[in-house]
Amino acid sequence: MAGSVSASNEFPAARLNDFMQLNDSTYQVTISPENVPINESPWYAFQIWSDIPQHIYLKLHYTEHEHRYNPKLSDNGDTWTEMATDLIQLDQDSVHATIQLDLTPQKLWVAGQEIEDHRRVGDWMEQFKNHPSVSLGSAGTSVQDRSLYYMNITNGENKKKPTVVVISRQHPPEVTGYLAMKAFIEKIIEDGANNGFLDKYRVMVYPLMNPDGVDLGHYRHNTGGIDMNRDWSFYHQQENRTVAEHIVSETNKEKNEVVLGLDFHSTYYDVYYTNDETVEVRIQGFTKEWLKRLERDLDLEDINEQASGYGAPTSKGWFNKQLGAESITYEIGDDTPRDFIQVKGHLSAVHMMDILLKYGERWKLYK
């Protein structure tokens, strides 16, 4: 409590380390990461309110790194609007930001991105529980015993179908990548049940790889203090190990060949991290055709592809080295418009399904 203004971090995905009053009209929230060193992703989420209606200035004070995410506001934690830029003022070195808020006794939610916590991801999945092409389950649990959600999407049996694996949210603040993944999967479910794709292919989805980090409001890491996307050769982290074992067990049991692995992330801009010519893939030419179509249909001057070899022990390398699959890290910008994310996610699914159906026999994917 500071004067007549209060703040709270008592909800999943919150990040608020301290709150104080600086003067009659200015307050400060302090934001610190779960541990250091850490990637520059200073996530914050808190509720704030006042006993009486008043206009205040609120300083976002970061103990590490500089301001990255402009605030999103909500009166219920589910519906969000982006704060007007003229109400946000960066300090001279761009480290901290001061925002203007109109407070009332009703709690106002303030967050770096929309909150998509463990419960909300589960709620999104539940809408498909009665869909004939979708089965919902769990790959296991996180260190803090949260479910590692799993969706299986296909028509009929899984047996011997070439398989696409999709993962998301290894890094908690990367909500825009998760939104793209949602749009991508929703389009597969909507169209794939009728266009023949799900008759021939299986899609395995792990939409929330780091549920503990998400619900604890972490910048980057899981409860082990580790970047999970640097653990795919080691399996030191329970979440990586559990999901990897689940993928291998499921596909071996059903005699599936994983042909494509997609990992949805967020960064400062939209980019696709792909494999260069040193990496052998089964569906040769898929990525080039896929990105060419997206560039055309999204009317982009440059699709922004960055190709590389294996490098760090990331999911992209694991999908290829362990499963022989084509692998792509699908990154969405922090500030990419949400309607564009939706369109891009839908088109990505449409063209993926079309290309795999068109060239599946050429690649000898069908047994």
Condensed to tens digits (0 to 9), the pLDDT of residues 165-198 reads: 999 999 999 999 999 999 999 999 999 989 999 9
Pairing of strands 26-31, 54-62: parallel
pLDDT tens per residue, range 255-270? 999 999 999 999 999 9
Tell which wins on pLDDT, 94 or 293. Answer: 293
Which CATH number is 5-111 given? 2.60.40.3120
For 336-350, what is the mean pLDDT? Answer: 98
Average pLDDT of the residues of the chain? 96
Count CB neighbours of 208 within 10 A: 30
**Distance from C-alpha of 149 to C-alpha of 141, rounded to nearest angstrom:** 9
Per-residue pLDDT, averaged over 263-280, amounts to 96
Q: Tell me what pLDDT residue 367 has.
A: 65
CA distance 53 to 60: 21
Mean pLDDT for 266-285 is: 95
Question: Pseudo-torsion of CA 228, 229, 234, 238, nearest 10°?
Answer: 30
Looking at residue 138, its pLDDT comes to 98
Backbone angles phi, psi at 81, to 5 degrees: -130, 150
What is the average per-residue pLDDT within 315-339? 97
pLDDT of 52 over the 50 cut:
yes
The per-residue pLDDT for 366 is 83
What the block records as the tokens of 333 is 């910008």
The pLDDT of residue 234: 94
Residue-level pLDDT at 213: 98
Beta strand 134-141 pairing with 147-153: antiparallel
Q: Across residues 143-161, what is the average pLDDT? A: 98
Distance CA 305, CA 275 (A): 10
Amino acid at 207: P
Q: What is the mean pLDDT of residues 237-250?
A: 98
- Phi and psi at residue 188, to the nearest 5°: -60, -45
Over residues 305-324, the mean pLDDT reads 94
CATH topology of 5-111 equal to that of 118-359?
no
Q: Which residues pair with 261 in a beta bridge?
A: 165, 327
Percentage of the chain lying above the pLDDT 90 cut:
96
CA dist 177 and 208 (Å) reads 11
Q: How many Å apart are CA 177 and CA 191, to the nearest integer?
A: 21
Whole-model pTM: value is 0.97
Tens-place pLDDT, residues 94-123: 899 999 999 999 999 999 999 999 999 999
CB-count burial class (<10 Å; 0-12, 13-18, 19+) for 230? middle
Query: pLDDT tens digit string along 34-44?
Result: 999 999 999 99
- Tell me what pLDDT residue 353 has: 98
How is domain 118-359 classified at the CATH fold level? Aminopeptidase (3.40.630)
pLDDT at residue 1, as a whole number = 42
Token pair, residue 225, equals 């203090």
For residue 345, give the amino acid letter. G
Query: What does the H/E/C string look like for the chain?
Result: CECCEEEECCCCCCECCEEEECCCCEEEEEECCCCCCCCCCCCCEEEEEECCCEEEEEEEEECCCCCCCCCEEECCCCCCEECCHHHEEECCCCCCEEEEEEECCCCEEEECCCCCCHHHHHHHHHCCCCCCCEEEEEEEECCCCCEEEEEEECCCCCCCCCEEEEEECCCCCCHHHHHHHHHHHHHHHHHHCCCCHHHHCEEEEECCCCHHHHHCCCCCCCCCCCCHHHCCCCCCCHHHHHHHHHHHHHHHHCCCCEEEEEEEEEECCCEEEEECCCCCCCCCCHHHHHHHHHHHHCCCCCCCEEEECCCCCCHHHHHHHHHCCEEEEEEEECCCCHHHHHHHHHHHHHHHHHHHHHHCCCCCCCC
Does the pLDDT value for residue 226 go beyond 80?
yes
Residue 310 predicted with pLDDT over 80? yes
**Gap between the terminal Cα atoms of the chain:** 66
Q: Which of the four pLDDT bands, split at 50, 70 and 90, describes residue 3?
A: low
Angstrom distance (rounded) from CA 300 to CA 11: 40
Q: Where are the domains of the chain?
A: 5-111, 118-359
